[in-house]
Amino acid sequence: MFTGLVQSLAEVKLLLPVGPGVRLTVSDPDIARRSAIGDSIAINGCCLTVVLIEGDALKFEAGDETLSRTTLGAVKQGDRVNLEASLKLGDELGGHLVAGHVDGVGSVDERFDDAEWSKFWFRVPAELTRQMASKGSVAVDGVSLTLVDVEQNRFSVALIPHTLKVTTLGFRQVGDHVNIETDLLAKYVERQLAWRESH
Residue 179, domain CATH: 2.40.30.20
When divided into structural domains, the chain yields a total of: 2
What ranges in 87-144 are assigned the alpha helix state H? Answer: 126-129
Query: Do residues 114 and 193 share a domain?
Result: yes
**105 secondary structure, DSSP code:** E
Task: Please tell me the distance from the alpha carbon of residue 195 to that of residue 189, in angstroms, as a whole number.
Answer: 10
Mean per-residue pLDDT over the chain, rounded: 92
Give the mean model confidence (pLDDT) for residues 73-93.
Answer: 87
pTM across the whole model: 0.91
3-state secondary structure of 48: strand
Query: Do residues 109 and 72 share a domain?
Result: no
Model pLDDT, residue 190: 67
With respect to residue 55, please indicate whether it lies within any of the assigned structural domains: yes
Q: What are phi and psi of 189, to 5 degrees?
A: -65, -45
pLDDT over threshold 70, residue 20: yes
Question: Of 13-22, 44-53, 75-84, which gets the smallest average pLDDT?
Answer: 13-22
pLDDT over threshold 90, residue 188: no
Give CA angle at 98 (6, 138), nearest 5°. 85
Query: Do residues 117 and 194 share a domain?
Result: yes
The pLDDT confidence band at residue 183, using thresholds 50, 70 and 90, is confident
With respect to residue 70, please indicate whether it lies within any of the assigned structural domains: yes
Output 61 or 196, whichever has higher pLDDT: 61
Question: Of 14-18, 105-109, 144-148, which gets the smallest average pLDDT?
Answer: 14-18
Query: Do residues 187 and 113 share a domain?
Result: yes
Give the mean model confidence (pLDDT) for residues 77-98.
Answer: 84
Look up the domain containing 186 and give its range: 104-198
Domain boundary among 52, 85, 118: 85
Give the mean model confidence (pLDDT) for residues 36-52.
Answer: 97
pLDDT over threshold 90, residue 191: no
Model pLDDT, residue 35: 95
Model pLDDT, residue 92: 72
Give the mean model confidence (pLDDT) for residues 95-105.
Answer: 89
Model pLDDT, residue 90: 67
